[in-house]
Amino acid sequence: MKKTKWLVLMLVLAGLLGLPTVSRAASSSFSQVAKFTTNSITIEWIDMTEKVSTPSLPATIVAYRVALYDEEGNDCGQSKALSSKIRKYTIANGEGLSSDLFRNIRPNCNYQVELITYFKTRKTAEGKVNAGKLLKTGFFTLPGATEITSFNHRSNQKGLLVTWDPVEGNNPVKYQYQIYSYKGKKLSSGIKATNYIKTSSFKYYNTACRIRVRAFYTDDNGKNYPGAWSAYTNIVPQPVMTSGKCKSNSKYRVGIQSNGTMILEWKRVLGATKYDIYISTKKGNAGSYTYRGSVNTVSSREYYATSVDTFKGKPFAKNKNYYVYIKAVTNKLGESKVNYTIRYALKTSN
């Protein structure tokens, strides 16, 4: 009872002296709703539900200070102006929902937010009192976008290797990928913990396709937060030549014939409209390869065979190596990316 009397007396004295005080019930709280992007966070909070006041001197909220820090308490690698700011609000009833937006912060990182409420009384308009710090973790930015950096896709092999840039940040992420055919049909999709796909049993190994990737973060409750999709990367398999007897016509063998012509054969690429042929006498120098014609697609064929009569105006020489690569060309997805390490040296047939 005595304790209550002393508390009332202190409040009355504070009012007479013009000192603002804080009601126990007066407190702000973070909203459960917050918006996350790759490089921004929108913080929302519920304003105090009643005015901060003394019995004789009502006080009104005039400002909130919102500070953003990383998990270690640093300023997120940004300038202080971005990691901490003061915003003033006109709040007639001391109620409502307020928000603030932090831009240009790092993707895929955890952050904590500090909220401080300021208020003033009528007589002491300049007076500020800290109404208490409210700290909350669990804010984070979405993973950044990734880009596919390389791929290896060949028409007569069932392997597929695709790599992409790992996303930065201190949150563990996984990657979702989607593969579509040249006709736009989804062929494959999945989740990878690594920044690559490596398989020796890709079902659509001889199909022109396109792939995209995105990273996603999973919180403690199992909810996924995906980043942006990468741009589509077109993957047109490189036709790889057969060897020995031609599969399309067993009368011929791949190589240089006794009459100085060259016979080539390769497996089809679904989606290709034609195949361009390049030949050189030097290995490893892309600039030395000479275009020697094209073969148009015939839908009923699984293997394509063709003859090349001359190279630089002359018949192919006997007992000399020639290096050949084939490009598959599509209408929608471009042409094969040639892997120059798998060229074929053709010697004169015996």
Summarised one tens digit per residue, pLDDT across range 198-233 is 999 999 989 999 999 999 999 888 999 999 999 999
pLDDT value at residue 215? 95
At 255-264, the pLDDT tens digits run 888 888 888 9
Q: What single-letter DSSP state applies at residue 184?
A: S
Q: Is pLDDT above 60 for 277? A: yes
Nearest of 240, 190, 237, 238 to residue 209 by alpha carbon:
237
- How many Cβ atoms from other residues are within 10 Å of residue 123's Cβ? 12
Stronger pLDDT, 235 or 323, i.e. the higher one: 235
Which residues lie below 8 Å from residue 251, measured CB to CB, with a gap of 6+?
A: none
At 126-158, the pLDDT tens digits run 444 444 566 676 778 889 889 998 888 877 788
pLDDT value at residue 75? 55
How many alpha carbons fall within 13 Å on the CB side of residue 20?
23
Side-by-side strand order, sheet with 133-140: 84-88, 59-70, 110-121, 133-140
**SS3 of 211, please?**
strand
CA 310, 338, 340, 189 torsion-angle sign: negative
Cα 237 from Cα 170, distance rounded (Å): 36
How many alpha carbons fall within 13 Å on the CB side of residue 249?
11
Percent of the chain scoring above 70 in pLDDT: 67
pLDDT value at residue 273? 94
Mean predicted confidence (pLDDT) in 5-15: 37
Q: Is pLDDT above 90 for 234? A: yes
Cα 120 from Cα 129, distance rounded (Å): 7
Strand partners, 264: 306
pLDDT value at residue 285? 62
Cα 334 from Cα 182, distance rounded (Å): 10
Mean predicted confidence (pLDDT) in 264-275: 92
| Fold designation for 148-235 | Immunoglobulin-like (2.60.40)
Query: Hey, which of 67-81, 119-133, 293-307 has the most confident mean pLDDT?
Result: 293-307
Tell me the CATH number of domain 255-346, given options 3.40.109.10, 2.40.50.180, 3.40.50.300, 2.60.40.10.
2.60.40.10
Q: Is pLDDT above 50 for 276? A: yes
Burial (0-12, 13-18, 19+ Cβ within 10 Å), 103: exposed
Q: In CATH, what is the architecture of 2-139? A: Sandwich (2.60)
Mean predicted confidence (pLDDT) in 284-291: 73
Q: Is pLDDT above 50 for 249? A: yes
Distances (CA, A) of 179 to 160, 202, 282, 296, 313: 12, 11, 36, 26, 43
pLDDT value at residue 121? 54
Measured in whole angstroms, the distance separating CA 320 from the mean position of its chain's CA atoms is 48
pLDDT value at residue 329? 94
pLDDT band of residue 274 (cuts 50, 70, 90) is very high
pLDDT value at residue 60? 57
* Mean confidence (pLDDT) of the chain: 74
- How many Cβ atoms from other residues are within 10 Å of residue 149's Cβ? 12
Mean predicted confidence (pLDDT) in 87-91: 40
pLDDT value at residue 163? 95
Give ranges for CATH 2.60.40.10 in the chain: 2-139, 148-235, 255-346
Percent of the chain scoring above 90 in pLDDT: 24
pLDDT band of residue 11 (cuts 50, 70, 90) is very low
Q: Is pLDDT above 50 for 310? A: yes
Cα 178 from Cα 334, distance rounded (Å): 19
Q: Is pLDDT above 80 for 25? A: no
- CB 43, CB 59: distance < 8 Å: no
Supply the pTM of this predicted model: 0.73
Print the SS3 string covering 9-78: HHHHHHHHHCCCCCCCCCCCEECCCCEECCCCEEEEEECCCCCCECCCCEEEEEEEEEEEEECCCCCCCC
Cα 35 from Cα 27, distance rounded (Å): 23
pLDDT value at residue 48? 58
Query: Hey, which of 26-35, 184-193, 302-311 has the most confident mean pLDDT?
Result: 184-193
> In this predicted structure, which of 32-36, 248-252, 258-262, 287-291 has the lowest mean pLDDT?
32-36
